[in-house]
Structure 1
Amino acid sequence: MSLPVYLDYNATTPVAPEVLEAMEPFLRGQFGNPSSAHAYGAQAADAVAKARRQVAGLIGAHEREMVFTGCATEANNLAIAGAAWARSEKGRHLITSTIEHPSVAAPFRRLQAQGWEVTVLPVDAYGRVDPANLAAALRPDTVLVSVMHANNEVGTIQPVAEMARLARRHGALFHTDAAQSVGKIVVNVDELAVDLLTLAGHKFYAPKGVGALYVRTGTPLTPVLVGAGQEHRLRPGTENVPCIVGLGSAAESARRMLPELSRQLRRVRDTLHDGLLEAVAGLALNGHPVERLPNTLNVSFPDVSGRDLLAHVEAVAASVGSACHEDEDTVSGVLAAMGISLLRARGAIRLSTGRFTTVEQAREACNSLVAAWRSLARAAHP
């Protein structure tokens, strides 16, 4: 039996062939510890240094500003808790948004339980934070603002540059979780004016289990983990050299392929969307129609449950929302925050294309989804 069309690239991506090739020597003979003071260690240290330059180059950073982590969740925790702890003498007020990934929302809840005051900014019907709301929330004791760059469920891109400059004028640090945007659109830390930025390897064709945190020079940060002195003393532990090498290779590929890849992703996504619009009366787009990731399509089908729809389409692999809460039999909290009705949210699915998705696959997936929707709708209204 052939595998279904994969339309869940926002959950994870396959490892690209060139990434696997770059990693292979470090899974075989080149096994040294980068901290070792001999030839094997130097070989590994050189590979990590190269990867650091490659990842920094993708986002317009300096190599010394990159900290490798085990995943984006760890990077988010380091950015949020580390910045809050480092600046606690200035104040104990933090700001975030209502649509953040759990790896951002949970650290804020923990800090709130420890005595920090947290302001959670709302979003509009498209899932965007209004910078005016941030301006009104900023206070002299605000030490950190964290708003994601692009939403993982609906793809909406936030006005991060405008918000980061507002935060800077008030003396607050700005962190953005860019796990979903890096590798899909051009991301530059100076253009965004951020102090901290998170990225995830497995969202742009590197392996799972590796991420990175950009830390602008001069940004105060207290380590979350303690131990040895690796990663500028911010993330102790022996480096995962094969995965770091893979992350570097993926970053180099992304830098080389953008923005052509963005155009390809948009073309395939729009082929899928146009086909669904033509065949499904009442189909509703969730998220911003323009300011969203080029690969992300979140739509609500009328008269059916999104979960039921995907369960009846064996030819398509997709999701109803974030893979981090796929086991929860509830509607998306992101859609609820956008003010979308319970009925419409219930029919939502997320379709996310990737580097290896073709126009032909998009058409095939469209036909399968339409057929399943028609069957379920008929059963609901005989």
Structure 2
Amino acid sequence: MTLYLDYNSTTPLENGVVETISVALREEWGNPSSSHSFGKVAKVSIEKARRNLAVMINGNDNDIIFTSGGTEANNLVIFSAVESYRKWVETQKNVPSDKPHIITSDVEHDAILLPLKHLKSRGDIDVSFVSAAPSGSIKVEDVISRIKTRTCLITIMFANNETGVIMPITDLGRAISKTNELRVKKRLFKILFHTDAAQAIGKVPVDVEVSKVDYMTIVGHKFYGPRIGCIYARDVGVTTPLYPIIFGGGQERGFRPGTENTAMIAGLGKAAELVIENLDKYMKHFICIKEYLLLRLQEEFGDSVVFNCHNDENHILPNTCNISLLGMSLTGSDILAACKTVVASIGAACHSQNKPSSILISSGVSPELARSAVRLSLGRETSKEDIDLATADLKQAVESLKK
């Protein structure tokens, strides 16, 4: 028996999503750009999916652009913001052609950090990294204080994939809007605001109007959809710039060329439809099971278990629990390797398993605790019986390692 508790890494496809993809593969295989009946059928399927994704985040259909996944979407935002600033400078008088400036946090996913570091290493941009320590959450005032006259983009994740900390995106959005009101009067570049919502979709309410974001990244395989994604860009191409980073045909209105992957887009749309219909149910389930998980961990490990970043200051994803064990001198990798049934992770799947998580350390977790950290992330079908078995397995793993 295997107990999968790594849903923040990836989720299985929902049955309804599998069926939708299967139908699309059989019946919607035409080229969506073709004007004949086969193309029209595929086009209708794509537009239905676009509509579902827009409704899920309270956006407009036309502002959804499909991508291969979250990494491409994040890169698309970053390169678009930089290009937009450069074009703006060219139209202004008496504006020095300084490097564009971007603000982010030090706990972002590599799909944000690495493009920024790449552009910085080439001398194309300046970057300010806002610290999430000591609580694990960034502070709005810390972000706003880093703004410069040449700031073009602020990108802060909606929720952290390792700690589960939900960032104050709504408060930050309001603060950026107020800042932009003053910047417009001073004829400065309007700061663009992006959030990678990969870990939040399907777990907590996400609303682009409430959060006031210009861009939002959506990733299918984090909410029981296929491994593609999309970018939301408010009033795309008009008030919010989006420049292609690949070139070809005119698909997705030229913002993201390439013949559309109809079946996967249809599956993504179905996953969004399920979130629209069932989010309250999903949240109640996550909250119930997570509360039971915390209780059982405390019963098994007592005062030796530490819940990383779970404090009164933070809001945490209802499905995510990052734990460390005090005084055990064990690594998270050792603990998971000794488990007989539990399948989990020590952090992001794309990071090294041999050293403490840089995300945890940047979130204020000590190196000692970071070394022994294990991330347990729950799914829609995780039961209390699963939690009983999982906590017992973690207990036996620790006991066997101590011997």
TM-score category of the 2 structures, normalised to the smaller one: over 0.9
Provide, for residues 148-187 of structure 1, a one-character-per-residue CA deviation record: whole Å limited to 9, x for no partner.
Answer: 0000001000001121232232331100000000111110
Total equivalences in the alignment: 374
Contact kept? 1:79, 1:196, Cα under 8 Å: yes
Provide, for residues 88-120 of structure 1, a one-character-per-residue CA deviation record: whole Å limited to 9, x for no partner.
Answer: 244601111000000010111122123211001
Aligned counterparts, 1:234-313, within 5 A: 234-280=255-301, 281-289=303-311, 291-302=315-326, 303=328, 304-313=330-339
Question: Secondary structure of 1:330's match?
Answer: coil
- Please state if 1:141 is matched with 2:165: no
Gaps of 5+ in 2: 90-98, 181-189
CA displacement at 1:48 relative to structure 2: 0.1
Residue in 2 that maps onto 1:154: 163
Question: Secondary structure of 2:31's match?
Answer: coil
- Please state if 1:85 is matched with 2:83: yes
Question: Secondary structure of 1:50's match?
Answer: helix
Aligned counterparts, 1:47-86, within 5 A: 47-86=45-84
Select 2:350's aligned residue among 324, 329, 354. Answer: 324
Q: Which amino acid aligns with 2:276?
A: R
Between the aligned partners of 1:30 and 1:160, the Cα distance in structure 2 is: 38
Between the aligned partners of 2:23 and 2:126, the Cα distance in structure 1 is: 48
Between the aligned partners of 2:206 and 2:392, the Cα distance in structure 1 is: 34
Q: TM-score, normalised by structure 1?
A: 0.95
CA displacement at 1:28 relative to structure 2: 1.8
- Please state if 1:185 is matched with 2:193: no
Question: Secondary structure of 2:209's match?
Answer: helix
Select 2:107's aligned residue among 91, 99, 105. Answer: 99
- Please state if 1:333 is matched with 2:355: no
Provide, for residues 178-228 of structure 1, a one-character-per-residue CA deviation record: whole Å limited to 9, x for no partner.
Answer: 0000111110001111000001000001112x1010000120122111111
Residue in 2 that maps onto 1:13: 11
Between the aligned partners of 2:256 and 2:384, the Cα distance in structure 1 is: 42
CA displacement at 1:311 relative to structure 2: 0.2
CA displacement at 1:251 relative to structure 2: 0.2
Between the aligned partners of 1:335 and 1:60, the Cα distance in structure 2 is: 32
Contact kept? 2:219, 2:230, Cα under 8 Å: yes
Provide, for residues 248-294 of structure 1, a one-character-per-residue CA deviation record: whole Å limited to 9, x for no partner.
Answer: 00000011111221110121122112111122131111123450100
Aligned counterparts, 1:208-227, within 5 A: 208=227, 210-217=228-235, 218-227=239-248
Between the aligned partners of 1:232 and 1:179, the Cα distance in structure 2 is: 24
Aligned counterparts, 1:108-147, within 5 A: 108-114=116-122, 115-147=124-156
Residue in 2 that maps onto 1:27: 25
CA displacement at 1:374 relative to structure 2: 2.2
Q: TM-score, normalised by structure 2?
A: 0.90
Between the aligned partners of 2:379 and 2:80, the Cα distance in structure 1 is: 33
CA displacement at 1:44 relative to structure 2: 0.2
Higher deviation after alignment, 71-80 or 88-97: 88-97
Between the aligned partners of 1:243 and 1:363, the Cα distance in structure 2 is: 36
CA displacement at 1:314 relative to structure 2: 2.1
Between the aligned partners of 1:283 and 1:30, the Cα distance in structure 2 is: 51
CA displacement at 1:356 relative to structure 2: 1.5
CA displacement at 1:231 relative to structure 2: 1.2
Contact kept? 1:146, 1:175, Cα under 8 Å: yes
Residue in 2 that maps onto 1:165: 174
Provide, for residues 294-347 of structure 1, a one-character-per-residue CA deviation record: whole Å limited to 9, x for no partner.
Answer: 00000002312111000010211100000111x441110111112322111111
Aligned counterparts, 1:357-372, within 5 A: 357-372=382-397
Contact kept? 1:181, 1:187, Cα under 8 Å: yes
Between the aligned partners of 1:189 and 1:39, the Cα distance in structure 2 is: 35
Between the aligned partners of 2:205 and 2:307, the Cα distance in structure 1 is: 24
Between the aligned partners of 2:363 and 2:23, the Cα distance in structure 1 is: 47
